[in-house]
Amino acid sequence: MLSIYTSAQPLHLASKIFGFLIFSIENKSFTVTIKNSDYFFIICNIVVNLLIFCVYWFQFLGENTIDSNVISKGIPIVTFMQYSISTFVMILSFIRRKNFVVILKMFNEIDLILREEFGVKFNYCKERQIVRNIIISLINGFITIILFCGIVEVFKTKKINPKDEIYLFWCLSTTSLVLINFSFIAFAIKMRFEKVNEVLRSLQPNFINFITLKPQIFLAKIKNLSKVHFHITELITEINKNFSIGILLILPPIFAWFCVFLLMILKVQWIIFKTFYVLMIIKMLVVAMLDVLLLISIYCANKAKCEGIETAKILFMMKNENNFDENVEKKISAFIDQIKFMSTKFSCGLFALDWKLIFKFFSAAIMYFIIMVQFDNLSTSNGTNQKFENFTNFTGN
């Protein structure tokens, strides 16, 4: 049986590979199972995470190669924070795996009502093709950029040392997939709200005749649309419960990486064009893709919220532009009150996922960036003064 999970299968497979949502779902019954392939992915992720912890983290504790105290100290801290949060989100997704099935079941119930009552159908196979192409493009983009960095380092050092590239690809892919999964679900909800609004608009042109001839059919349609809208808002609440912790946890490293990225751009010696700085900038651009994915997630969430509110606007116009009997007017008013009472906002617990969050994000990043520049200049000047004192003591002057 085709369902929304059919569309999400390529995304689920990619999530499995990188440690997020490592479980299988039966498409017909929506039951969670752990197959042999899932155990293989679990073992692979445990091994890779241990290697990252043992090799990459301790490498950063050693030699300082960056001419900036803030960057040289900030990168290992943010790196370890990113790694720790990604690992925690992977474990949390496995523990709460049954909650994701609840989301799929709610989607299936909504689609069933839309199909049986209003003849609305979704092309799940076409959606799956689109999702697959998006996932392949993103992974290819990550691999291309990181392979380029690795090849440049090989030509520079004459050694093959893929530790940094493996970490960057693996850890950032896990974080990216959390945002992509959320974006997929938010966009799917937007599509359901759009279908509800399309059905309402289809009733509007012949509205007076429709009410006069078949009021009981109209009331039944309004009742079913109200039921669908209610289920969608309940679904948003369930999504907020399941994704709030994950998104809330990945926001700090995205914020920290953005600040480091800005400082790195400031520190680059473009005239000298050092290979090391160029490679770091390219890697930071890969990290900056997380900010792009965050923007896409908030865009999808905001569009879904707007479509949910649009339903109330359509009902309000219908109510004001036509004269109905008491039963019809009460039903429309109850539908409007339901929309006002049931929130269509997406949130991550402390923050609503809307454009206000992006404004706060970038304004806070710029503020901390200015502070980081000041501390970095202060530490650099102190280091220069210390070197001058050592030189004068050595020369005896």
**2-28 per-position pLDDT tens digit:** 788 888 888 888 888 887 888 888 777
Reported for 108-114, long-range contacts at CB under 8 A and 24+ positions apart, including other chains, are 108/3, 108/4, 108/30, 109/231, 110/192, 110/228, 110/231, 110/232, 110/235, 111/3, 111/4, 111/192, 113/224, 113/227, 113/228, 113/231, 114/192, 114/195, 114/196, 114/228
- Tokens in use for 71? 């960057």
211, 328 Cβ separation under 8 angstroms = yes
- pLDDT at position 370: 75
For the chain, list residues with pLDDT below 50: 62-68, 207-213, 269-273, 383-397
Distance (Å) of CA 122 to CA 3, 111, 133, 343: 9, 8, 18, 25
Buried/exposed code over 261-281 (b: 16+ C-beta within 10 A; e: otherwise): bbbbeebbeeeeeeeebebbb
Place of tokens 């983009």: 141
294, 284 Cβ separation under 8 angstroms = no
Q: Is the dihedral of CA 107, 317, 301, 143 positive or negative?
A: positive
Total structural domains within the chain: 1
- pLDDT at position 166: 65
Cα 340 to Cα 342: distance, rounded to the nearest angstrom: 6
Listed in sequence order, the residues at least 6 apart from 106 whose beta carbon sits closer than 8 Å to its beta carbon are 231, 234, 235, 238
Identify residue 340 by its one-letter amino acid code. Answer: K
> Phi, psi (5° rounding) for residue 51?
-65, -40
Rg (CA), the chain: 26
Residue 21 φ/ψ region, left for φ over 0, alpha for ψ in the -120 to 50 degree band, beta for the rest: left
84, 266 Cβ separation under 8 angstroms = no
288: exposed, middle or buried (Cβ count in 10 Å: 0-12, 13-18, 19+): middle
- pLDDT at position 50: 76
- Tokens in use for 305? 């919220």
- Tokens in use for 194? 């759009």
71, 264 Cβ separation under 8 angstroms = yes
Question: What digits encode the pLDDT tens for the residues 262-303?
Answer: 766 666 544 444 555 556 666 666 667 778 888 888 899 999
347, 374 Cβ separation under 8 angstroms = no
Q: Is the dihedral of CA 217, 308, 239, 13 positive or negative?
A: positive
- Tokens in use for 80? 């370890």
Cα 325 to Cα 215: distance, rounded to the nearest angstrom: 9
- pLDDT at position 189: 93
Cα 102 to Cα 240: distance, rounded to the nearest angstrom: 13
- pLDDT at position 37: 85
Chain center to CA of 302: 13
Which SS3 state, helix, strand or coil, does residue 29 take? coil
- pLDDT at position 193: 92
Which residues form the domain of 89? 4-395
Q: Using alpha carbons, select from 287, 357, 363 the residue that is nearest to residue 86.
A: 287
Which SS3 state, helix, strand or coil, does residue 25 take? strand
Question: What digits encode the pLDDT tens for the residues 215-249?
Answer: 777 788 888 889 999 999 999 988 888 888 888 88
230, 343 Cβ separation under 8 angstroms = no
